[in-house]
Amino acid sequence: MLWFNKVSYQWIDIIVEHTNYTITDLCIKNGDTAIFTNLKDKIEVKAWFGLFCLNGVFKSAQEDTNSLWATDGIGRDIFKLTMSLK
């Protein structure tokens, strides 16, 4: 992931800021029915980018998200070890 070192931390901050703004906005609009309620930080966003890249390396573009995190032997361990699906 050498390319990731080239990404400015300012870009990560912008992504985190706008992601959290959207999450907060959705929580206000949807109240108790909001699915995404936890705000994100730099570590989570960087982990997501890493998994997104690995998804391409594994050529899993058309693969169901649930199967990437599956625990029945067909899932990818790196996904489960990096973050939970929910």
pLDDT tens digits, one per residue of 39-71: 888 888 888 888 888 878 878 777 777 777 888
Rounded to two decimals, the pTM is 0.68
Residues 26 and 34 sit within 8 Å (Cβ to Cβ): yes
Residue 78's SS3 state is helix
Express each pLDDT in 1-27 by its tens digit. 555 666 677 888 999 999 999 988 988
The CA-CA-CA angle for residues 8, 10, 11, to 5°, reads 70
